[in-house]
Structure 1
Amino acid sequence: MSTASPPTSGSPAPHTIRGTILRPFKVPPKSKSDWLAPAILTAKTITAAAECAPFPYVKGVSGTVLILLETVVTVKKNREDLEELCSSSTEIITILHDQIKAHGNTAAVKFKGLCEELESYLEAVILAIRNMQDRFKGFRGRVKEFLKSSSLTEEIAGYQAQIQGLMAIVETNFKVDEMHAIITAPSFAVVKTVENINNCPPPSRIFQGRQAILDKMHQFFDTESGNQHIYVLYGLGGAGKTQIALKFIEQSSFSNVFLVDTSKVETIDTGLNSIAVSKSVGNSAQDALRWLQSNHSKWLVFFDNADDPKINLNDFLPKCNYGNIIITSRNPELRSYEAHTFVSDMEEADATTLLLRGATKEHSEENLKLATAIVKELYYLPLAIVQAGAFISKSEDLEGYLDLYLNNRARLLSEKAAQSHDDYAQTVFTTWQISFNQLSHLAATLLQLCSFLHYTGISEDMFSTASKYDFSLSWPPREELQEPLEFLSHFVEPTGEWNSLKFLDVTNEIKAYSLISFDAKAKLFSIHPLVHAWSRSTLLDEEPLQSCMSSILGMCIKKIPENEMELASVRLISHVGLLEYANPDRVADFRRAFSQIYYYTGKFKDAQALAELILERSKFLLGDDHADTLSAMGNLASTYFDLGESLKAKELEVLVLEKRTKILGEDHPDTLLAMGSLASTYYMLGEFQKAKELELLALEKHTKVLGEDHPRTLLVMGNLASIYSDLGEFQKAKKLDVLVLEKHTKILGEDHPDTLFTLSNLAITYYTLGEFQKAKEIEVLVLEKRTKVLGMDHPNTLRAMANLAVTYYTLGDLNKALGLEVEVLQKRKQLLGDKHPDTILAMENLVKTYQNLGKQEEMEELEQLIEDTKK
């Protein structure tokens, strides 16, 4: 029987450079029956209000609709067949409630006969549904047949039409002097004024979604708390805050609704003045506030666009324990008021519907597919979607929009449609420009610098670490870093200490307009992807700021200690991948630093490309024997090593060791580094005896020069343990592994990558000693920790996965081995390519698992692939 290859330690070459791609998760789709919950809430609210009204027939029909909805809840399957019936019934009682609330007895009398008839009809429907549910298992087909034969939806639609007709009669006949005060519960407001005011425009004709926020608002304002109700909707400009507020107001029944433009102190005064004038109580803001404070009716003031952080909104709020207030703002500081919701991007389904409605396109399968791709690219931002829909409606080209957008993003997001569905005057880009213009020069510069980084994972630490850049040891020199140093100087004390409070002041200024967000738990900033793209568009000349940010990132990387580089690389790779490096002939050259990040995150091809350029440039400028040239040569050799090109690595490492010994002496730390790297390469080439001799010498000198607890000494010790294991000296290997693990755990902590390397090597030693269960327990732990620390796609995580698969195989758990091996092979192909030794090893192990599972066809197919790959 064939056996799988034993796990490989994958001991890293001890060089100066050695992380993960973050993958978004999908929010599970909403249940098809989510429509029932808000419908029941509405029916309960209206029924409770009707309890206190002197119109029993309104109470009766409302309660019957509630019973209908609660009956549908008990339907186990296919209740969506009854959705239209339930929605129409709920709409009817909502209309009744609103009309009677507004017009009292005038409306109630006219609706009496219709309410009683509808109540009787719905009772028959409820009885039919209950009987059918009891008698038939095939409920879906029966419901469809029942709905069709009884024409229930048509009947309900008829009642709906009759009620809407009566509404028109009520509106026409209703006169102010016929109004009677209705003594009811708070839900039916007592009319105390001559005129009800609502100076709000309606929401957009294509308003879509946001039901969760609306439900939360209704629940909040419907709760009697004995206090003034204040609700804040805050978030990025263009996220739809105003439209949500207008939709809520349209769905509600307040005695008076007043809209106040809160963008400036002057517009606030104007808005409050208009309240005083409309109520004939004066002509000043104070007159309006006094009227609101003395009026116990169910009024609402909508303070829209309270974006200016310098305005203290509390100065303009009525000082009383009643009344209702909605505030929309870009400033998250206003969360300090009673209730609030962060308004962000739309749900995908609502976003696609909004786009198609705005584009006047039907909801076909093909159109939905095209719309989904577009709204993803627009990051589900409502204003961007509305603009896109308007453009598509004009061009009539839904299919071609995405390509057009990708090539003309700035123009399309700045273009105002001639025809619109609401009163909003700004485009996506202009609404942010208004906020940007309010920023100080320093805050604006920071936002623009961050536009050259990835839009997530931005930290203060990146800037503070860069400010500690060491000019005595590092390259490039101070004169090449004037721009980044000048920017960083704003946050550095004369003593050289970083001032976090100054940095906080600047980031708070940007946050006040929701142009940047902060995760307090992770200590990380993020920028909405469209804001990120827009902030670049504010630059007339990108190169100076790009070069500045490139240098700041490079300065940060060069200050990271060697034993922290692997974890730091996981955090920084997304920024390096976007920014890379500026033109080294014109600005400071930090390609070495970026090459390190690529290397430590397993992006060896990217690291190789940079390392080759660095070596070539260093030879040209400094000569073959310069210390920087030899360092560049060693780093390129390490990259070849991890790309599986061990012979290329060996050729360079022999040369580096020879030159460093000659120039620096055999005890210099750089010479010892070269010695350890060459020993690792001998190991990978199977020259174990050569590797052992060199590693023993390296260990002796590392211990003498650096000390036995130095990270490099421990790395050499761990590599020597791997060599002992391959030479069959298992007890020696085990002894060294246990010692290194103890020291790494004590010095670095149990989750540090170097500790996990040692733990992995100990598992391999247990495996070679035949202690498979112990090996498995350790490998499960290593895989769990590496996944958490480095991510699923990191080479070291894949190595842990591959080793655990081999142990499962040896223990006879072939299905578990198969699952891991398939994943390892897929990810190694993506990361390392088909011809990398680690990829080929993964294929060979999978062949053996297929063979032992009797999967002959899969085995033969993979064997052929291995043969073709090795040609």
Structure 2
Amino acid sequence: MNNDTLLVHFCLSDVPVPQAPQHINNCPPATRIFHGRQAILQKMHQYFKREARMQDIFLLHGLGGAGKTQIGLKFIKESASIFTDIFLIDSSTITTIETGLKNIATTKGVGDSSQSALQWLKSKPEEWLLFFDNADDPKMDLNKYFPQCDHGNIIITSRNPGLCVYAGSHSAVSDIETSDAIDLLLRSAAQATTDPNKAVAAEIVKVLCYLPLAIVQAGAFISKSGRLNGYLALYATNKTRLLSQKPAQSHDSYAWTVYTTWQISFDQLSQQAKTFLQLCSFLHYQGISEDIFRNAAGYKFGPSSPSKEELKMPLDVLSKFLDPSGIWDPLCFLDVTSEIQAYSLITFYSEQNLFSVHPLVHDWTRGTVPDAGQHCCMVAIAGMSLAGLSDTDMAAAGPQMMPHIELLMRGNFNIVPDFRHEYGKAYVWAGELEKAKQLLMAVLEHRRNTLGVHHLDTLEAMHRMASIYSRLGNFQEAEALGVRVLNKRRDVLGETHPDTLESTGNLATILSLMGRLREAEALNLEVLERRRQTLGETHPTTLTIMSNLAVTYNRLGSLQEAQALELKVLERRRKILGHNHPDTLLSMANLAATYNRLGRFREAEVLEVAVLQQRKSSLGENHPDTMRTMNNLAVTYYKLDRLQEAENLGSVVLEKDRSILGANHPHTLLTMGNLAMTYNKLGRFLEAETLLVDALKKQTDALGNNHPETLRMQSKLGSTSNKLERWQEAEDLLVSALEKQKDLLSANHPHLIETMQSLADTYTKLGKLKEAEDLNEALKRLEV
């Protein structure tokens, strides 16, 4: 079939009238199984119906196989009556465009060249429509083939979003809605639309990521084999064959399969663009940023770093994005990513400043890599990128990096210790503490063996491990390691070195969590004074120490001091870091906890709701920091007597704590104690008792008999025994707790007051009225 026959198929009326103008529509109909896309079609109808004194151009752009041509054909079928002539032009090459325009000129009897056709269209101020289909070549200047006039209509389909510069309106064509995808699959597979078939189809289209061409190909295979229920099992082991297989029976004239349509685009890319896209296939398909590669290009080699020879491949890749002086060149990066975007193989989201790759393209691209070299290269680039980040930077970059790190780690490659250390830091930020522990233990062992126990990199790994032990609730191990690191850093670096002060602050935090609050206070004050002298009042490190000291004051019951510090830190962090920075959110959460103890529950709720919303957005529902905020908010609801909300939220947190942190983690036990108190207020005393007995045993095993949190749990159990009218059990528990709390806590500490109130109530029930009166008088003096 020659080009003329392919491109121009005239639909003339059955009885042509010689005197009337000849109406031309050489467009085939849309496929018979066309479904959905109503939002795009509606947008097109509204655009072309508007009254405008200019040429109307509409662009449909998107990935190959997304169904751009079919949308254009469907629109033309629905709107044919508003156009005087409709011309379909195959725009895949300059030759096919010029042939299509020549056919217009010949048909209209105005010449035999493309210029003749353009001149004729320019001279006809009518509602003609040019449909430039498959204008995918980004090097082609399509404007040369537009009639240069202020009338007429043009539709373009292209993989190149850059053609938006010509369009008065455009639509990105991507995946279809779930219900439309299910209908498309069942129609193309010639399967009945029964509920069981819809359920199976829903699973299939989900795996195919709702891409129309992939769905149609799957439908063609199913119609041939009759195996709707068995398709997913076949797909799991034969994905490449199924997505590369051209159906014998088709619903339209599209010549390519899913994989061949992308291969054609991939083959047009420069080698640098191909390599970049292949590297991206080992990252998560969403949230790819320039920062990953820019930070890696600034990697600094250290004593424990891999050698330049070991990093030859990543260094070669990154060097292509540097200017002659070795500085990152953003224009070079833009050139490469723009080249890939021109074929819609990658999409850029300007609001987030991030790239994404369609999941099927992402998976297909990985299949173009012949060996594991590029996976190893991307593992190294990610490690190099993380190495330049401080803890504060990691807090900001963590949400973006963690999905990539998770994917890269699945390769089970022998990652060099230096990069294991960086990945471990990222897992700490993400709350994946067991994974962090495994990585950093291996790093610590390697550095001890290769660098020695006094090397600064070894001490850094020890410091990280102490922090992880603390977060895991392994306080004895944390203290032992923290003391060793501090002593070694003092010997090697001196008392006032920043790393020594960092270890001092870390040990203070560990001691605070262990309930040794006066020791923690003394260490924090020492570090704070030195940080103020060397860094100033507003430095982020100084603010961190101030924040830690405020938490210690809170635990000591020195609530006014805690509030004053927290307000100061929060104000400075908002100004320096912004309202949504993780450190700012931590300050808000700490201040809310202090407000709670001060009885300012409404103010606490406002802060906690804001923190929870932001942490859910940035960290996810299951991050430990998010769960802590949920637990704190549940406590605030309890204090506000919004008991059903408190129970609902507390139950959710407890389930998450048990599954993510474990049944014995300090945070899990804290949640159990808080939920038990809600049960008490709801009159569900036996449920409260069950939780508290379990929590107290585990807390005693983990923290010992004299830890403030153990004593608080004991006090809560005593209060519950009161509710159950087990007065003697209550007295024994509360007297024991109160004696120890008096030694550990300030006289007006909220936990001490709670125990005194419960014990006074118990004495009254036991008829020990003198003891009850003495306690109540002591409580009155505290109120004054």
Q: Same fold (TM over 0.5)?
A: yes
Indicate the SS of the match to 1:247.
helix
What is the distance in 2 between the residues matched to 1:246 and 1:696? 74
Change (3 A) 1:864 1:233: farther
Q: Deviations over 1:498-539 (max 9, x none)?
A: 221221111111111111111112211111111111111111
Q: Deviations over 1:390-436 (max 9, x none)?
A: 11122222122123223332222212112211111101111011111
Instruction: Map 1:351-390 to 2 at 5 A.
Output: 351-390=181-220
- What's the counterpart of residue 119 of structure 1? none
For residue 478 of structure 1, report the CA deviation from its aligned partner.
3.3
Change (3 A) 1:550 1:581: farther
- Higher mean displacement: 824-833 or 452-461: 824-833
What is the distance in 2 between the residues matched to 1:222 and 1:725? 67
- What's the counterpart of residue 626 of structure 1? 455
Change (3 A) 1:213 1:785: closer
Does residue 225 in structure 1 map to residue 55 in structure 2? no
- What's the counterpart of residue 61 of structure 2? 234
Q: Deviations over 1:464-501 (max 9, x none)?
A: 22222223687334343222222222222233432212
Instruction: Map 1:208-607 to 2 at 5 A.
Output: 208-251=35-78, 252-253=80-81, 254-295=83-124, 298-336=127-165, 337-471=167-301, 475-541=305-371, 543-580=372-409, 589-607=418-436
- Given candidates 189, 192, 200, the residue that maps to 2:27 is 200
Q: Deviations over 1:559-618 (max 9, x none)?
A: 123322212112211111111387775868411111111111212122122112222322
What is the distance in 2 between the residues matched to 1:774 and 1:484? 51
Does residue 730 in structure 1 map to residue 559 in structure 2? yes
For residue 708 of structure 1, report the CA deviation from its aligned partner.
4.8
Change (3 A) 1:587 1:680: closer
The amino acid across from 1:672 in the alignment is L
**How does the TM-score come out when normalised to structure 2?**
0.81
What is the distance in 2 between the residues matched to 1:822 and 1:839? 11
Kept in 1, the 8 Å contact 2:417–2:443? The answer is no
What is the distance in 2 between the residues matched to 1:526 and 1:820? 35
What is the distance in 2 between the residues matched to 1:387 and 1:862? 56
Kept in 2, the 8 Å contact 1:581–1:590? The answer is no
- RMSD over aligned CA atoms reads 2.9
Change (3 A) 1:410 1:639: farther
What is the distance in 2 between the residues matched to 1:770 and 1:868? 30
Kept in 1, the 8 Å contact 2:417–2:446? The answer is no
What is the distance in 2 between the residues matched to 1:804 and 1:574? 28
Does residue 839 in structure 1 map to residue 679 in structure 2? no
Q: Deviations over 1:161-214 (max 9, x none)?
A: xxxxxxxxxx8xx533xx387xxxxxxxxx413xx4433333222111112222
Kept in 1, the 8 Å contact 2:122–2:147? The answer is yes
- Higher mean displacement: 855-864 or 784-793: 855-864
For residue 839 of structure 1, report the CA deviation from its aligned partner.
1.8
What is the distance in 2 between the residues matched to 1:325 and 1:777? 54
- Percent identity (aligned): 51
Change (3 A) 1:282 1:696: closer
5+ long unaligned stretches in structure 2:
1-10, 702-784
Q: Deviations over 1:8-51 (max 9, x none)?
A: xxxxxxxxxxxxxxxxxxxxxxxxxxxxxxxxxxxxxxxxxxxx
Change (3 A) 1:288 1:764: closer
For residue 235 of structure 1, report the CA deviation from its aligned partner.
0.9
What is the distance in 1 between the residues matched to 2:572 and 2:628? 23
- Given candidates 639, 659, 671, the residue that maps to 2:468 is 639
- What's the counterpart of residue 768 of structure 1? 597
The amino acid across from 1:369 in the alignment is A
What is the distance in 2 between the residues matched to 1:631 and 1:293? 73
Q: Deviations over 1:76-119 (max 9, x none)?
A: xxxxxxxxxxxxxxxxxxxxxxxxxx99xxxxxxxxxxxxxxxx
What is the distance in 1 between the residues matched to 2:77 and 2:697? 68
Change (3 A) 1:587 1:780: closer
Q: Which has the higher contact order (CA 8 A, sep 6+)?
A: 1
Change (3 A) 1:615 1:403: farther
Kept in 1, the 8 Å contact 2:418–2:443? The answer is no
- Given candidates 452, 475, 491, the residue that maps to 1:662 is 491
Q: Between Structure 1 and Structure 2, how many residues are aligned?
A: 687
What is the distance in 2 between the residues matched to 1:283 and 1:329? 27
Change (3 A) 1:303 1:852: same
Does residue 758 in structure 1 map to residue 587 in structure 2? yes
- Given candidates 161, 175, 184, the residue that maps to 2:15 is 175
For residue 255 of structure 1, report the CA deviation from its aligned partner.
4.6
The amino acid across from 1:305 in the alignment is N
Kept in 2, the 8 Å contact 1:567–1:790? The answer is no
Kept in 2, the 8 Å contact 1:230–1:325? The answer is yes
Change (3 A) 1:495 1:471: same
The amino acid across from 1:236 in the alignment is L
Q: Deviations over 1:666-725 (max 9, x none)?
A: 333323222222222222222223333433444444445555544333323332332233
What is the distance in 2 between the residues matched to 1:762 and 1:816? 22
What is the distance in 2 between the residues matched to 1:731 and 1:859? 32
- What's the counterpart of residue 819 of structure 1? 648
- Higher mean displacement: 806-815 or 348-357: 806-815
For residue 287 of structure 1, report the CA deviation from its aligned partner.
2.9
Indicate the SS of the match to 2:230.
helix
- Higher mean displacement: 379-388 or 246-255: 246-255
5+ long unaligned stretches in structure 1:
1-101, 104-170, 182-190
Change (3 A) 1:707 1:413: same
- What's the counterpart of residue 550 of structure 2? 721
Change (3 A) 1:735 1:350: closer
The amino acid across from 2:429 in the alignment is Y
Indicate the SS of the match to 2:320.
helix
For residue 352 of structure 1, report the CA deviation from its aligned partner.
0.3
Instruction: Map 1:29-108 to 2 at 5 A.
Output: none
Kept in 2, the 8 Å contact 1:751–1:789? The answer is no
What is the distance in 2 between the residues matched to 1:865 and 1:529? 46
What is the distance in 2 between the residues matched to 1:532 and 1:227? 40
What is the distance in 2 between the residues matched to 1:675 and 1:462? 32
